[in-house]
Structure 1
Amino acid sequence: MLQGLLGLFAFISLAWIFSENRRAVRPGLIATGLGLQFGVGLLLLKVPGAQHVFIFLNHAVEILDKATTAGTSFVFGYLGGGTLPFAEPWPGAAFIFALKALPIIIVMSALSSLLFYWNIIPAVVRFFSLILQRTMHIGGALGVGTASNIFVGMVEAPLLIRPYLLNMTRSELFALMTCGMATVAGTVLVLYAQIIAPVVPGAMGHILAASLMSAPASIMLAMIVIPENADSTQGDIASPDNAISSMDAVTKGTASGVQLLINVIGLLIVLVSIVSLTNQILGLIPDVANAPLTLERLLGWVMSPLVWLAGVPWAEATTAGTLMGTKTILNEFLAYLALAATSPEALSEKSRVIMTYAMCGFANPGSLGIMIAGLGTMVPERREEIVSLGIKSVAVGTLATLMTGAVVSLLY
């Protein structure tokens, strides 16, 4: 109990230490963020059947993913998700990221443009304004982006509020980026749950709860680091592409999505390559503890105290820290594969559950590349600001998921 409480205090304190304006941090924001996080955790972990409501919402994302797969499989065949002409040697072996995961950016771009033309998204923004102004005191645009991040990716969610991005405050923009780093898309929830199901009972429920619980934590921590000093973004904005008809909106949204997709793929290749190059350079250094140095191992040592604060026993902190390092330097997919292969002697059942939550976020260099390319294309006027906030959003997003792990260590 004390370990988890100490972790919550430590993670919030770290955000406060690096705050741009400590005096502007509102205690009410912290209380509301913690209350929402514990509330969602209690609801999903303790109330029977509550998860089915959110699983139903996630089915909407699965429908969208299925619709996208229909298009990619028609164009790319089995490479885009069509029927495989061979047996898959292991789950996910035939998953080609560029052809299966990223094309949803184009569909979301076209769909969001259409929904703006129909004035649906502006109406949703106004609705969220009324609710979130009275709870976390954030605007409707950020509220829609935050809620969307729970079910879609870090690029698809901002697409829904693209016209609002230019006028968002710096605090709102950073909070949106941080939420993208602290959650995972609904399209990968099932995949991750399948991977860890053999070692984490009720894996689907835990993965879903993790993304939901980290959303309020990410907003709270982001607004501690960069407190709000202006009015939140609420207003009505017309269709982002100045469309004159529904078909025109779809066409222009598709064109914007294609440009966005190309930028995301290019920057993703570069950043992942830089990580690999760095690891090869570190490999020239003599082995340490009978293993070569890598960014994952280095960050794993740094993460050991942090995962201990999240509730993992110290005897298991090195193993858990390495998993967290893998997640942060590479991605959460590989980290979950490593978690599934970890022996019960190395991590207890409770530690595996805590790490399921702590690793459930997109905060890594590859995702940072996707976010910078995506947001930079959507709002090029703020590209420099987005780049300057990038690394900070990864750090705060990681703190948010660790904080969720600490909450679960108290509730589990």
Structure 2
Amino acid sequence: MLQGLLGIAVILIVSRLFCDNNKLVRYGPVLKAFLIQVLLAFIILHFHAVQNVVDHIGNGLTALRNATLAGTSFVFGYLGGNPCPFAITPKSSTFIFAFQALPLVIVVSALAMLLFHWRVLPFFVKILSRFFQPLLGIGGALGTCSAAKLFLSQTETPLLIKPYINKLSKGELFSLMTLGMATTSGSVLVIYALILGEHVPNVMMHLISASLINIPGAIVISRLMVPHDLKPTDGTATQPYEFQNSLDAVYEGTSQGLNLFLNIIAAIIVFIALIYLTNSILQSIGNLFDIKISLQIILGLIFKPLVWLMGVPWEETTQAGAILGLKTIINEMVAFEAFSKVPADALSTNARIIMAYALCGFANLSSIGIQIATLGTIAKDRRSQVISLGFRALIAGTLASCLSGTIVGLLMLL
């Protein structure tokens, strides 16, 4: 219990130390957002009725996965999920990530554009925005983005408030960037669940929970680091896409999903290759001094104190720290893949759940470039400010998701 409380205190203090204007910090809204984060986590973890609702959402996402498998099985045969036409050797698997998991992003992207065209997704964003605004003490523009982050990626969300980006205060812009770093999107959530499989109990529930409670967490950390110094910017969601009909919406969504699909495949291939090369070099150096060294060991040692503060037992922190390090310097997809390969006895159940929350976000080095490209294109006048805030947003996003993991680890002890 004390370990978790110390972790929360340290994360908040570190966030405060990064503050760029101490005089503007307003602790009332920060405390309110933090209490909302704790309350949401408590309700999801301890109220069966809420868990049932989350389970139904998870079942809907599973249905999307099954629908995608129907398509991949038809196109790729047994590579895409059909029964294998030959005997499988023991400890082997016919699961192929690129053919059976990743195509889900194409289907979800197409469905999202269709729901945009039908005005279904904007309706839910509007409702949730009205929920977030008073509870988190933010304006309509930021409230819209907070709600949209449950469904959309960090490149799509700012498009909803495109007319208001230039009107955002520095603090609101930073909160927007932190939201992008601290959360994920609906298109990849099921993929995370597929990767983790049975490695985390009730994995879908916890990933959906992380998507929700990371939102107030992002507001907490961002307001401590870059305070909101002006009146909140009002605004409602605009329609970023215009389609001729439903088929046009599906086609556009499919095209966007295909680009994401190819980018994910390319990134995973390149980064895993780079990790392999790095470890080969480190192994050669280690052999000279008769020591075992790898990128994972180095990252594990660097992030060891942070994951311990989150509630992970000390003897498991090197393994957990390595996973968090991979997520930060590379991306969460590679980290989840590494997480799935951790031996069953290397991490306890609670540690696995805590790490699932900590990994559920886009806070990595490449996301800085993505945000500069996205926000810099939408609002060219703010490009230099986005660049100056980029690395700080990465830190804030990492701390926000780690704060969620710490809170959940603490609440699991109750």
Question: Which TM bucket (shorter chain)?
Answer: 0.7 to 0.9
Q: Distance in 2 between matches of 1:384 and 1:349?
A: 44
Q: Which residue of 2 aligns with 1:191?
A: 191
Q: How does 1:138-287 map to 2 (within 5 A)?
A: 138-235=138-235, 247=244, 280=277, 284=281, 286-287=285-286
The answer (yes or no) to whether the contact 1:58–1:151 under 8 Å persists in 2 is: no
Q: Distance in 2 between matches of 1:185 and 1:370?
A: 15
Q: Which amino acid aligns with 1:345?
A: D
Identity of aligned residues (%): 33
Q: Which residue of 2 aligns with 1:402?
A: 402
Q: Note the C-alpha offset of 1:27.
A: 1.7
Q: Which amino acid aligns with 2:169?
A: T
Residue-by-residue CA offset, 1:35-56 (whole Å, 9 max, x unaligned): 1111111111100031333455
Tell me the SS of whatever aligns to 1:49.
Answer: helix
Q: Note the C-alpha offset of 1:154.
A: 1.9
Matched, 1:101 2:105: yes
Q: Note the C-alpha offset of 1:206.
A: 1.5
Moved more, 15-24 or 96-105: 96-105
The answer (yes or no) to whether the contact 2:106–2:254 under 8 Å persists in 1 is: no
Residue-by-residue CA offset, 1:318-363 (whole Å, 9 max, x unaligned): 1111111122223223323333332343222221221122222121
Q: Distance in 2 between matches of 1:189 and 1:124?
A: 18
Q: Note the C-alpha offset of 1:284.
A: 4.2
Answer 1 or 2: which has greater helix percent.
2
Matched, 1:303 2:303: yes
Moved more, 54-63 or 394-403: 54-63
Q: Which amino acid aligns with 2:400?
A: A
* Distance change (3 Å), C-alpha of 1:366 and 1:272: farther
Q: Note the C-alpha offset of 1:256.
A: 12
Residue-by-residue CA offset, 1:268-309 (whole Å, 9 max, x unaligned): 979996997698578545128744543x54333221000000
Tell me the SS of whatever aligns to 2:325.
Answer: helix
* Distance change (3 Å), C-alpha of 1:209 and 1:270: closer
The answer (yes or no) to whether the contact 1:40–1:213 under 8 Å persists in 2 is: yes
Flag structure 1 segments of 5+ consecutive residues without an equivalent. Answer: none
The answer (yes or no) to whether the contact 1:327–1:335 under 8 Å persists in 2 is: yes
Q: Which residue of 1 aligns with 2:88?
A: none
Q: Distance in 1 between matches of 2:376 and 2:256?
A: 11
Q: Which amino acid aligns with 1:374?
A: T
Residue-by-residue CA offset, 1:169-194 (whole Å, 9 max, x unaligned): 22222212212221222233233223
The answer (yes or no) to whether the contact 2:152–2:185 under 8 Å persists in 1 is: yes
Moved more, 258-267 or 177-186: 258-267
Matched, 1:388 2:385: no
Q: Note the C-alpha offset of 1:25.
A: 1.6
* Matched residue count: 401
Query: What's the RMSD between the two structures over aligned residues?
Result: 4.2
Tell me the SS of whatever aligns to 2:146.
Answer: helix
Q: Distance in 2 between matches of 1:260 and 1:343?
A: 33
Q: Which amino acid aligns with 2:336?
A: Y
**TM-score, with structure 1 as normaliser:** 0.78
Q: Note the C-alpha offset of 1:24.
A: 1.7
Q: Which amino acid aligns with 1:358?
A: A
**TM-score, with structure 2 as normaliser:** 0.78
The answer (yes or no) to whether the contact 1:149–1:180 under 8 Å persists in 2 is: yes
Residue-by-residue CA offset, 1:232-265 (whole Å, 9 max, x unaligned): 2213686558x7xx63999899999989997998
Tell me the SS of whatever aligns to 1:247.
Answer: coil
Q: Distance in 2 between matches of 1:305 and 1:267?
A: 30
Q: Which residue of 1 aligns with 2:89?
A: none
The answer (yes or no) to whether the contact 1:148–1:157 under 8 Å persists in 2 is: yes
* Distance change (3 Å), C-alpha of 1:125 and 1:330: closer
Q: Distance in 1 between matches of 2:137 and 2:25?
A: 13
* Distance change (3 Å), C-alpha of 1:9 and 1:352: same
The answer (yes or no) to whether the contact 1:145–1:158 under 8 Å persists in 2 is: yes
Matched, 1:376 2:376: yes
Residue-by-residue CA offset, 1:188-231 (whole Å, 9 max, x unaligned): 32332233332322121112112212111111101111100112
Flag structure 2 segments of 5+ consecutive residues without an equivalent. Answer: 86-91
Q: Distance in 2 between matches of 1:411 and 1:339?
A: 23
Q: Distance in 1 between matches of 2:34 and 2:194?
A: 30
Q: Note the C-alpha offset of 1:311.
A: 0.5
Matched, 1:7 2:4: no
